[in-house]
Amino acid sequence: MRFAMSTNNFLLVSAALICSALPAFSESLYVKKQQETIHVRLIAREAPAAASAFSQNVDSYLVELVDKHRDEHLARLSFRFLPYESPIPEELRDYEIVLTFRATRDHDCDASAAQLAAHPMQYSSDAPQIRVLKPSSALPCYVVTAKDYKGSKRNRGVKAVKNDSKSDESEVLAKRE
């Protein structure tokens, strides 16, 4: 009798665990359906942390998001890659190149302009000049992986001004006007 009760308890606990896992599983499927195609120009890369040989690595970029109406907005791109995958190559870190990704919008990695300005930035070649923006301005974050990269094309019509000036610590990032 005691064994049967333990088995029933085991089945009850197992059923509860399975039912509690179903929402997380369905949520992960829902997130995958929320991917969208984005077109970006890389402005700057946050100084990367030391790469891991055992787990996922993350490179964060300040990007100019180009929407379907050709409007441009600042955003953050979180590029996630495994140790056997490559980060975005140096030759693609050129402002004149428009990169295309399948991305997932992630509110958890949104950053304010002040948070981005607190990290050293490595500017892309021909990146536009950055001006001051409200420190509390939130930049939307898009998460991509190495397999989400869909291609690139050089946008020859862009005339960019290189960022040669060092900014004061009190200044924060913004798109040029």
Domains of the chain, residue spans? 1-33, 36-154
| Among candidate residues 77, 83, 78, 3, the one with its CA nearest the CA of residue 41 | 77
Whether the CA torsion 161, 166, 167, 172 is positive or negative: it is positive
| Among candidate residues 35, 28, 69, the one with its CA nearest the CA of residue 149 | 35
| pLDDT by 10s per residue, the chain, length 177 | 444 556 666 666 565 556 565 555 544 545 455 899 999 999 999 988 778 888 899 999 999 998 888 788 899 999 999 999 888 998 888 999 999 999 999 999 999 888 887 888 888 888 876 665 677 788 999 999 989 988 888 865 443 333 333 333 334 444 333
| Among candidate residues 72, 40, 74, the one with its CA nearest the CA of residue 149 | 40
Residues 6+ apart with CB under 8 A from 138: 110, 111, 112
Whether the CA torsion 89, 127, 42, 114 is positive or negative: it is positive
Cα–Cα distance for residue pair 105/87, rounded to 1 Å: 20
